[in-house]
Amino acid sequence: MTLNRSNFFDWKQDGKIHVVTLRVEMLTDEENLEQFDQELASIVESAMPCHMVCDLSSVRYVSSSAIGKFISLHRKMMRTNGQLILCGLQSAVKDILATSHLLKYFHVTDDASQAIKKLK
Protein backbone atom coordinates (compact mmCIF):
# COMPACT_ATOMS: atom_id res chain seq x y z
CA MET A 1 0.00 0.00 0.00
CA THR A 2 1.39 3.36 -1.03
CA LEU A 3 1.04 6.35 1.26
CA ASN A 4 -0.02 9.48 -0.63
CA ARG A 5 0.16 13.04 0.68
CA SER A 6 -1.81 16.21 0.12
CA ASN A 7 -1.59 19.59 1.83
CA PHE A 8 -4.18 18.48 4.40
CA PHE A 9 -3.96 14.73 4.76
CA ASP A 10 -2.22 11.46 4.03
CA TRP A 11 -4.14 8.62 2.41
CA LYS A 12 -3.70 5.03 1.45
CA GLN A 13 -5.88 2.63 -0.45
CA ASP A 14 -6.93 -0.82 0.73
CA GLY A 15 -8.91 -2.25 -2.19
CA LYS A 16 -11.88 0.09 -2.67
CA ILE A 17 -11.37 1.60 0.79
CA HIS A 18 -9.43 4.85 1.02
CA VAL A 19 -8.15 5.74 4.48
CA VAL A 20 -7.61 9.49 4.78
CA THR A 21 -5.73 10.74 7.86
CA LEU A 22 -5.96 14.46 8.36
CA ARG A 23 -2.77 16.24 9.47
CA VAL A 24 -4.29 19.64 10.35
CA GLU A 25 -5.55 20.65 13.78
CA MET A 26 -8.11 23.17 12.58
CA LEU A 27 -10.40 22.95 9.57
CA THR A 28 -11.53 26.55 9.34
CA ASP A 29 -12.09 29.20 6.71
CA GLU A 30 -8.45 30.28 7.15
CA GLU A 31 -7.47 27.00 5.53
CA ASN A 32 -8.04 26.62 1.81
CA LEU A 33 -11.23 24.57 2.18
CA GLU A 34 -11.87 24.62 -1.56
CA GLN A 35 -8.54 22.90 -2.16
CA PHE A 36 -9.30 20.47 0.69
CA ASP A 37 -12.65 19.67 -0.93
CA GLN A 38 -11.09 19.22 -4.38
CA GLU A 39 -8.41 16.88 -3.04
CA LEU A 40 -10.99 14.67 -1.31
CA ALA A 41 -13.28 14.75 -4.37
CA SER A 42 -10.43 13.65 -6.65
CA ILE A 43 -9.94 10.52 -4.52
CA VAL A 44 -13.66 9.74 -4.71
CA GLU A 45 -13.81 10.32 -8.46
CA SER A 46 -10.78 8.13 -9.12
CA ALA A 47 -12.46 5.01 -7.73
CA MET A 48 -16.23 4.90 -7.90
CA PRO A 49 -17.84 3.50 -5.88
CA CYS A 50 -15.43 4.78 -3.28
CA HIS A 51 -15.53 3.92 0.39
CA MET A 52 -13.64 6.41 2.53
CA VAL A 53 -12.54 6.50 6.14
CA CYS A 54 -11.63 10.01 7.35
CA ASP A 55 -9.51 9.84 10.48
CA LEU A 56 -10.00 13.16 12.26
CA SER A 57 -8.02 12.28 15.39
CA SER A 58 -5.62 15.23 14.88
CA VAL A 59 -8.43 17.73 14.24
CA ARG A 60 -9.39 19.83 17.26
CA TYR A 61 -11.93 22.11 15.56
CA VAL A 62 -14.06 22.21 12.40
CA SER A 63 -15.94 25.23 11.11
CA SER A 64 -19.41 25.09 9.61
CA SER A 65 -17.83 25.53 6.16
CA ALA A 66 -15.66 22.44 6.72
CA ILE A 67 -18.70 20.47 7.91
CA GLY A 68 -20.43 21.55 4.71
CA LYS A 69 -17.58 20.04 2.70
CA PHE A 70 -18.00 16.72 4.53
CA ILE A 71 -21.78 16.81 3.92
CA SER A 72 -21.24 17.42 0.18
CA LEU A 73 -18.67 14.62 0.04
CA HIS A 74 -21.04 12.27 1.87
CA ARG A 75 -23.87 13.05 -0.57
CA LYS A 76 -21.63 12.57 -3.60
CA MET A 77 -20.45 9.22 -2.27
CA MET A 78 -23.99 8.04 -1.48
CA ARG A 79 -25.12 8.86 -5.05
CA THR A 80 -22.38 6.57 -6.40
CA ASN A 81 -23.00 3.73 -3.88
CA GLY A 82 -19.98 4.72 -1.82
CA GLN A 83 -19.76 5.33 1.88
CA LEU A 84 -17.99 7.84 4.13
CA ILE A 85 -17.08 7.02 7.72
CA LEU A 86 -15.63 9.61 10.10
CA CYS A 87 -13.48 8.30 12.94
CA GLY A 88 -11.24 9.47 15.75
CA LEU A 89 -13.39 12.47 16.65
CA GLN A 90 -11.97 14.59 19.45
CA SER A 91 -14.54 15.75 21.99
CA ALA A 92 -14.83 19.30 20.60
CA VAL A 93 -15.46 18.02 17.07
CA LYS A 94 -17.91 15.43 18.35
CA ASP A 95 -19.75 18.16 20.29
CA ILE A 96 -19.99 20.36 17.17
CA LEU A 97 -21.44 17.47 15.15
CA ALA A 98 -23.81 16.53 17.98
CA THR A 99 -25.08 20.12 18.32
CA SER A 100 -25.68 20.17 14.56
CA HIS A 101 -27.51 16.80 14.76
CA LEU A 102 -24.95 15.34 12.35
CA LEU A 103 -23.63 12.47 14.46
CA LYS A 104 -26.55 10.42 13.17
CA TYR A 105 -26.15 11.71 9.62
CA PHE A 106 -22.54 10.56 9.30
CA HIS A 107 -21.31 7.07 10.03
CA VAL A 108 -18.92 7.50 12.97
CA THR A 109 -16.54 5.02 14.60
CA ASP A 110 -13.93 5.34 17.32
CA ASP A 111 -10.96 4.55 15.09
CA ALA A 112 -9.92 3.65 11.55
CA SER A 113 -9.69 -0.10 12.21
CA GLN A 114 -13.37 -0.19 13.30
CA ALA A 115 -14.34 1.80 10.23
CA ILE A 116 -12.44 -0.52 7.89
CA LYS A 117 -14.12 -3.56 9.49
CA LYS A 118 -17.50 -1.92 9.02
CA LEU A 119 -16.80 -1.34 5.31
CA LYS A 120 -15.51 -4.85 4.56
Q: What is the mean pLDDT of residues 74-94?
A: 96
Q: What is the mean pLDDT of residues 73-99?
A: 96
Domains and CATH numbers, the chain: 4-119 (3.30.750.24)
Q: What is the 3-state secondary structure (H, E, C) of 17-40?
A: EEEEEECCCEECCCCCHHHHHHHH
- Give the separation between CA 13 and CA 120, rounded to whole angstroms: 13
- Give the separation between CA 52 and CA 50, rounded to whole angstroms: 6
pLDDT digits (tens, 9 = 90+) for 18-61: 999 999 999 988 778 999 999 999 999 887 888 999 999 999 99
Name the least confident of 24-33, 75-84, 104-113.
24-33
The pLDDT assigned to 1 comes to 62
